[in-house]
Amino acid sequence: MRSVFLVILTQLVFSAAAQNNPAKTYWITGVVVDDESGKPISDVEISTSEKPNNILLSDANGVFTIVTQADSIYFDHVSYTRIGIVTREFRSGDTIQMTYGFGNLLDQTVVGGDRTERAIKNQIVSVEHVQPALVQDKNPITIDEIVNQVSGVVVNDGQVNIRNGAGWSYGAGTRALLVLDGMPMISGDAGKVQWNFINPDNISRMEVVKGASSVLYGSSALNGMINLTTSWPDEKPTTRFTSFSGLYSEASRESLKWSDERLTTSGLRFSDSRRVGKSDVVTSFEVVDDKGYRFGDFDSRIRGGVDFRQNVNDSFNYGVKTHLLSTNNGSFLLWNSYDSAYRALDDAKTVTNGLKWRFDPFVHWKKGKWRQSLRARYLYIDNQVDNGDSLNNQSNTNTMIYADYQALRRLNKSIQITAGATTMLVRSNSPLYEGLQKADNLAAYFQWEHKLGPVRYTVGSRFENYRLNNYVESKPVFRAGMQYSMGGGRYLRASYGQGYRFPTIAESYIKTSVGLISIYPNAELQSETGDNIEIGIKQGFKTKKLRGFLDVAAFRMTYQDMMEFAFGQWSSDVSPDNGFGLGFKSLNTGKTEITGIDINTTGELKLVSGTLRFFGGYTASNPVISDRNFVYGMDSTGADLSYVSTSSDTSSDVLKYRNERTFKMDVAYNRGKWNLGVSSRYASRITNIDRAFVDPLFQFFVPGIQTGLDLNPQGFWIFDVRVSYQVNSQFRLSLIQNNLSNQEYMVRPADVGAPRLTMIQAKLTLK
């Protein structure tokens, strides 16, 4: 908590009262300083009534003197919360504590890269907090749409890329981990984030940690993590119904039209949260039918779940969360051509009927100075795939068992230790991965945090042991950081974190095809390591009408043996039926380096007519290969593969599939029952992709990729708008429009983004 001490050096001088005025006169002198930095605070208003007529100010050195007969003295500053003292109780050397006045902005609690809750101002790494209200207002079909609104973050085909720490891969592996209620929410076989398992109406906390988080979260957090926490009941029972219906607009070009049907999306969500005695129960249900905007790309799902917690006492609780999800969806990899970009290549259609179940038992307890927890997750995924080719069976089944024990102890007011151990067992059985595959992980982690005056130090380590079938690998990773409170709402931080990611089953063993394009295995794929160095400063600001903070961070990420999804000729069978041997394969492409700057702001402005809230930022990065001539492999013809030989643009050393500059901003204006919001997203042009994509032979079969790259030579802007009206305390009606201008843009090779989507949302809340 940001506090301010008034260190008062008092001298009370008693003057003999006049016969008609027996009141005691107090002569108080002192100095106002910041509690963490020790710096004096000037221009503190000192008065003797709650509505002062005569105001004294502390000088440039924080010194003040006041003579009064009043019982109380009040201290005001534009950046601090007002407090009062009782004059007769004041003694020389007394200390008074004031709270820095940013309310729930700088002081809002988040779970950062160290698995513990603390104010956002005290984080040693960059953490972006997303207000749950934004999730409710934008009505995402899947929650990754909200993650994509965070500055420095790009979500492509469900994969998260933070500060250009990753390029593009299709359904295999992730460097940014999704953590749901403290545990990974990714498939065990492919490391694929399970976005459709999450109910947007039941999120109490969302934050994005930028930079390596592998020390406390494990392998898939090499590039960062997204933390989601679901909510438990309040004192009053709450029941919510959310219904939405939407329509995709026709694309800006007539040639993109592929269906005479109205392409719609609709859904219904229900949740009930209530406390029964000492038990907390949350039930939820969701049905979504999104016909999509592309041929063969749709999403229909039904999900239901129950969360139960038994609060035995203030020190002990246990429970379980169990959810079942049934899906029917289609996938899209490459367009048929630029002129028919919403049709899949050769009209290939892959339909997956999926059944997913998660069972999450947990127990939390406190004893003395110890806080301990044991969490577990059983995740079962069964995908039955129909791709129209009886000889290419892509169905797959996998299970993941994950368990995490964590203990936290405060040794004293200044020192806290966190320690724990995790285990993960994955079993996958599918012709997609050449039969039965096994992956196991054991890990232990430890972190020490020490607060010494205005400085907070953190050091931590994690030891990983991975087994993929008969291959075993062990590796330690470390992190360290400091945060210095400079006073006046200014916080300086510096951090160093190592990252580590082990290949997934899919990256190592997948063998399949989508239309004429094949995806090839690489059983020799090696793990990748990296580190992240960051220096940042967070500055709070507050006036009578404006409050918020500005965060600026400079970062440098390096990766050894970086895994990239590479396109090339991987088969000696170059027949047309085999797509001429062309396809994708995961490779270790060598050492890379990403440097850049990340600028973010969050705040609110009080206006006469309402309140304006804003959230967003700008990220500029330089993602480059360290050795452009490094040979990292050979294709089926024996040709050497390097950055130079496989890149479409070698005029610079920029990595493939990166938007070097992004800008994100969301602004919401609330006036009475009305709420108006605007979201904007900018991404610069992707300058480098696989050379094969623009090769004349590939262009013959998948035309127009270069035209798509040139579609937005300066990058693209997307604007979403929303307006809602609170009819009464229970019912709200909203109109939401994504891609307001119906902008056409290519998000990655052979994939055009969604056209305008207009939705109506109705929300009923009963308490």
**CA 754 to CA 737: how far, in whole Å?**
12
* pLDDT tops 50 at residue 5: no
Better pLDDT: 90 or 119:
119
Task: Give ∠ CA 686-690-694 in degrees, rounded to 5.
Answer: 90
Residue partners of 98: CB distance under 8 A and separation at least 6: 3, 4, 5, 6, 75, 77, 80, 81, 83
Lowest mean pLDDT among 6-20, 274-288, 386-400, 419-433: 6-20
pLDDT in tens, 412-466: 888 999 999 999 999 999 888 888 999 999 999 999 999 998 899 999 999 999 9
Q: How many Cα atoms within 13 Å fall on the side-chain side of residue 486?
A: 10
**What is the structure's pLDDT at 91?**
64
Q: Specify the pLDDT at position 8.
A: 37
In the prediction, which pLDDT does 219 show?
Answer: 73
Q: What is the reported pLDDT for 515?
A: 65
State yes or no: pLDDT of 739 exceeds 50. yes
CA angle 449, 420, 186 (to 5 degrees): 110
**C-alpha pair distances (Å), 190 with each of 378, 427, 437, 512:** 16, 11, 12, 14
Predicted local confidence at residue 388, as pLDDT? 73
The per-residue pLDDT for 9 is 35
Rounded-to-integer distance, Cα 621 and Cα 660, Å: 5
Question: How many angstroms from the chain centroid is the CA of residue 564?
Answer: 22
More confident: 87 or 570: 570
Q: In this predicted structure, what is the pLDDT of residue 94?
A: 63
Q: Collect all residues with Cβ–Cβ distance below 8 Å to 760 and sequence separation of at least 6.
A: 244, 245, 246, 733, 734, 735, 736
**Residue 14 pLDDT:** 34
Sole residue written with tokens 């998260």? 160
pLDDT higher than threshold 60 for residue 541:
yes
Instruction: List the one residue out of 760, 247, 334 whose CA is nearest residue 518.
Output: 334
What pLDDT does residue 19 have? 42
Name, in order, each residue with C-beta under 8 angstroms of 575's C-beta and a sequence gap of 6 or more: none
Whole-number pLDDT of residue 518: 81
Burial 448-484 (b: 16+ CB within 10 A, else e): bbbbeebebbbbbbbebebbbeeeeeebebebbbbbb
Mean pLDDT of the region 161-169 = 87
Q: Please work out, in degrees rounded to the nearest 5, the angle formed at the alpha carbon of residue 17 by the alpha carbons of 12 and 23.
A: 70
Does 288 score more than 90 pLDDT? yes
At residue 109, the pLDDT reads 66
Structure token pair of residue 549: 């903070």
Question: What average pLDDT score do residues 177-203 get?
Answer: 90
Mean pLDDT confidence for 733-759: 95
DSSP assignment of 550-611 equals EEEEEEEEEEES-EEEEEEE--S---GGGGGGEEEEEEE---EEEEEEEEEEEEEEE-SS-E
Instruction: Look up residue 523 and give its amino acid.
Output: A
Task: Encode 633-673 in three state secondary structure.
Answer: EECCCCCEECHHHHECCCCCCECCCCCCEEEEEEEEEEECC
DSSP summary character for residue 22: -
| Separation CA 566–CA 643 (nearest Å) | 11
CB 66 within 8 A of CB 46: yes
Tokens of residue 140, six digits: 């995402």
Q: How far apart are CA 381 and CA 370, in angstroms?
A: 36
Q: Which two tokens stand for residue 391?
A: 């000889």
pLDDT at 40: 76
* Torsion on CA atoms 58, 59, 62, 68, rounded to nearest 10: -30
* Most confident among 46-55, 190-199, 205-214, 240-249 (mean pLDDT): 240-249
Instruction: Assign 205 to helix, strand or coil.
Output: strand
Which whole number is the average pLDDT over 502-523? 84
Cα(first)–Cα(last) distance of the chain, in Å?
32
In this predicted structure, the answer to whether residue 723 has a pLDDT above a threshold of 60 is yes
Closest among 747, 717, 741, 722 to 732, alpha carbons compared: 722
What confidence score (pLDDT) does residue 131 get? 86
* pLDDT (mean) for 694-707: 86
pLDDT digits (tens, 9 = 90+) for 625-634: 999 999 998 9
Per-residue pLDDT, 32: 75
Computed over every residue of the chain, the mean pLDDT equals 87
For 493, the token pair is 């931080």
Q: Which residue has the tokens 């708008």?
A: 721
582-588 and 517-520 beta bridge pairing: parallel
Q: Mean pLDDT throughout 17-21?
A: 42
Q: Does 215 score more than 50 pLDDT?
A: yes
* pLDDT confidence of residue 764: 96
Rounded distance, CA 317 to CA 311, Å? 4
Report the pLDDT value the prediction gives residue 39, as an integer from 0 to 100. Answer: 72
Which residues, 6+ apart, have CB-to-CB distance to 143 below 8 Å? 135, 195, 198, 200, 203, 228
Return the pLDDT at 84. Answer: 77
User: Exposed e or buried b for every residue in 322-338, given b needs 16+ CB within 10 A?
Assistant: ebbbebebbbbbbbbbb
Distance of alpha carbon 739 from alpha carbon 227, whole angstroms = 27
Q: Is the pLDDT at 239 greater than 50, yes or no? A: yes
Higher pLDDT, 272 or 433: 272
Tracing tokens 């500029």 back to the chain, one arrives at: 620
pLDDT of residue 4: 39
Contact 223, 176 (CB under 8 A): yes
**Mean pLDDT lowest among 101-115, 121-135, 226-240, 306-320:** 101-115
Comparison of pLDDT for 367 and 762, the residue scoring more? 762
